Structure 1
Amino acid sequence: MLLDNFITINQKKYSFTAGETILAVCLRNEIFIPALCKHPDLEAQGKCRVCLVEVAGRGLATACSTPAENDLNIKTNTVEVKRARRTNLEMIYAEHIEKCDACIQEHNCALKKFAESYGLKLTRFQDRKGKSPLWHFGALSPQRLVQEQKEVARHFKDQKEIKFRQAQLELHGQGFVEFDSAKCIDCGICTEVCSNRQTVDFCETAGKGFTTQTKPVDDETKDCVYCGQCIVHCPVGAIQGVPHWSAVEELLKNKKKLGKIMIGQIAPSIRTSIGEEFNLPYGEVMTGQLAGSLKKLGFDAAFDVTVGADFTTYEEARELVEWLEKGKDRPMITSCCPGWVRFAEFYLPDFVSHLTTTRSPEIISGIWPRLIGPS
């Protein structure tokens, strides 16, 4: 007969299973402990040291990396714990330049919530990242941008259309992923997800103490594949997609002047996930609400990319038949995801010849509305 495992937290006993950490037990029992560098997808980092608790006979310990053990006596809100958490948060703020108004975490910022909870003095320690670089991954070089703009001029005759398309090229030439290292707290989450989950190894957290810096690797044989996992996992909004909303708003505002019909595309994943942002049940289908919202913003029409996916599936099936008839090497691998294609091109070059030439659902969804006409 197995004996139950118990741990004491704030003078109350809780059961735990082998391998659980103190933080895991607390979260499961709705005992609040702040944490920034722990993500459920990843191993414990133990770097931010905001999750400190007091262990009887041992002193302060990080709850995220300390295993639960029988007869451990834990206190989560002692004067010493609060003081240590407050100090660590103030030091974290010294390496996080606040740019809240333009941050994707503005309305869901754990760091800001913790600062309010512990009454931080944000200016206690001097900022050390005021001159840290801003990286745009996937940005076009000035030479490449000029080359692409010349190509546009060769393919179109109308000067108004040329000017419009060249301006769009300049906008998209800013890249896909923006890493503002002045906001980075060097928690190591992006490094772990990039290296251990995505096996890309493009991010690294180097140095120790106040010299610690998270940055792209210097190895030129490695590059970003724009998968977006660093964006999803960053707890402070230091990494985000390059924002284009101001440009979209400008296009909507001037669509009549530009002579453009504006069409919004709805990604299949968004229609079943965006409801969570409005406290709706997981998986709630929001296609109609999204289409209505896009029209409210000024778009003339909205299309679900699922339709493009249907065309992609048909074309890939047709292409596979051709491959089989010609005896080409198999398997044929989808090219729907730009991140996957980029990964294959850079890290698995032997797979490139196996990629289908069929366009992605998003590209097809951008083409077929033109075929059915302005109506």
Structure 2
Amino acid sequence: MNSSSVQSLAGVADGRPVRLAVDCMGGDHGPSITLPACRAFLDRHPDAQLLLVGRPEALAPAEGWARCERIAASEIVEMDDPVEVALRRKKDSSMRVAISQVKPADDGRAPADACVSAGNTGALMAVSRYVLKTLDGIDRPAIATVMPNEKDGYTTVLDLGANVDCEPEHLLQFALMGAALVTAVEGKPDPKVGLLNIGEEVIKGSDTIKRAGELLRSAADAGLLNFHGNVEGNDIFKGTTDVVVCDGFVGNVALKTAEGLAAMLSSFIKQEFTRNAYAKLAALVALPVLRHFKHRVDHRRYNGAALLGLRGLVFKSHGSADAFAFEQALHRAYDAARNRLLDRVHDRIVESLQALPAAETPVPVTKTA
């Protein structure tokens, strides 16, 4: 990371309010969802400021809001736009303008500390990578988010769709970034990392997974990671490790499966408690328990995935998010900026890639002040 990138978050530590750039036009619903979410976020975070990006007429309801600035953008990246369209043709899109707010200016400071968008995932990743570039030592950014576990906590999982095919070195980089994320946001100094596989045994899995396991064990031997070993899909929800690493194809399937299962279980419970008069009476008695259950499995609470590995903080919200879910994404971005996630990821990557044998880390690291 160059010096200007490091300085872009210096203001957070200096007491300057955390500033988030928001792509208000992205997602399935646009300003009808993003603006109420932003209003609620500002009410709950008196030390935060928002840069609302979008078409002027769409941002009109935010006129006069305190700690809020509106930035005009004439175009919108639609949810079905190809990546090429978002990257090459829509250069004044709300998505691109919002991401640009995270890029440091000539004085070394960025207008915003993080960016949040509910837009097209592929476009968001491509535009973010083009505008912000990747950290030194990182081949590919990864998408990371949290999933609930039975320990009443969270398991951070990455990658969730940015990279369908991965090399072992990429999985090592994901592990380092995921550990830095958990340390920064959750305050765990030595988070436990697991490699998602079809079994716990070292001999199981594809050649890529076996080689990734070797790299992760080498990193653990060097004191760079707290590597638990292979984990299976159910370990995500057991809370066996703090971080679970996988390629984007597997991670995305796991995420969507978990969301679908939670929705199905909630539907089943509702059906059973409304089946007849006796069931409805039982539902009244169990109402506090049912509400708590619904709260714990509500996927909206976990909305907001970090795009790790970039020279700036970018967070992805579900495209179908409602105002409550989008507000959670804003909160995650705020937390990451306040805890200097960008600097922590950079420091861990530099330290780790310099300590590992050169043969295992073919990407050179150029550390600057």
Common fold by TM > 0.5? no
Shorter-chain TM range is: under 0.3
Which has the larger Rg? 1
Structure in which a larger fraction of residues adopt helix: 2
TM-score (norm 1): 0.25
Q: Give the TM-score taking structure 2 as reference length.
A: 0.25
